[in-house]
């Protein structure tokens, strides 16, 4: 887990929120807000709101920003601090690490989206869990 630390080269706080980390990564590149906003095709007002924590960032927008900044989605999204003690939490964390929406995750693993939400209350059987090991492996790679 990345805590508030100082990057020795630039003396900029990395941060513990997506907003802070996006600003940090943008400043590391020496870019102004309008420079970054132009790359994924979002407005400068939208990016400014994200950096000031006025609005929440959508996963699809975060993916585009990550590509532009050449940063992993788990880092900019602060997904490294998500809990993973239950199967559902592991699945949610893996979904975020993949940068998927819930619908994209359901399609990727071949289940209906409603089935995933059922697992929040009750873990699926072992036979179903084994199907998702490949999807969950991303948590071991970081």
Task: Note whether residue 7 is domain-resident.
Answer: no
pLDDT digits (tens, 9 = 90+) for 2-53: 444 434 454 567 899 999 999 999 999 999 999 999 999 999 999 999 999 9
Write out the residue range of the structural domain in which residue 46 sits.
18-80
Q: Are residues 70 and 107 in the same domain?
A: no
Task: Note whether residue 11 is domain-resident.
Answer: no
Q: Are residues 41 and 93 in the same domain?
A: no
Report d(CA 48, CA 57) in Å as an integer: 11
**Pair 27, 10: CB distance under 8 Å:** yes
As for how many domains the chain has, the answer is: 2
Q: Which of 56, 74, 58, 71 is nearest to 25 (CA)?
A: 71
Question: Model confidence at 102, in pLDDT bands (50, 70, 90)?
Answer: confident
Q: Give the CATH number, domain containing residue 91.
A: 1.10.260
**Which residue would you say has higher pLDDT here, 121 or 4?**
121
Question: Model confidence at 142, in pLDDT bands (50, 70, 90)?
Answer: low
Q: Give the CATH number, domain containing residue 44.
A: 1.10.260.40
Sign of CA pseudo-dihedral 79, 80, 81, 82: positive
For the whole model, what pTM was predicted? 0.78
Question: Model confidence at 93, in pLDDT bands (50, 70, 90)?
Answer: very high
Q: Are residues 129 and 97 in the same domain?
A: yes
Lowest-confidence pick of 79-83, 84-88, 124-128: 124-128
Task: Note whether residue 74 is domain-resident.
Answer: yes
* Average pLDDT of the segment spanning 80-96: 90
Q: Are residues 133 and 89 in the same domain?
A: yes
* Average pLDDT of the segment spanning 116-138: 78
């Amino acid at each position: 887990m990345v805590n508030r630390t100082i990057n020795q080269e630039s003396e900029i706080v990395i941060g513990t929120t997506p907003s802070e980390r996006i600003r940090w990564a943008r400043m590391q590149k020496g870019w102004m807000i309008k420079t970054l906003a132009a790359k994924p095709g979002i407005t400068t007002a939208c990016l400014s709101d994200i950096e000031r924590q006025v609005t929440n960032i959508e996963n699809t927008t975060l993916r585009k920003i990550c590509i532009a900044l050449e940063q992993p989605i788990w880092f900019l999204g602060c997904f490294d601090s998500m809990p993973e003690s239950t199967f559902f939490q592991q699945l949610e964390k893996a979904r975020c690490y993949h940068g998927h929406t819930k619908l994209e995750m359901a399609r990727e693993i071949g289940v209906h989206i409603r089935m995933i939400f059922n697992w929040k209350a009750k873990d699926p059987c072992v036979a179903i869990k084994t199907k998702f090991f490949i999807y969950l492996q991303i948590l071991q790679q970081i």
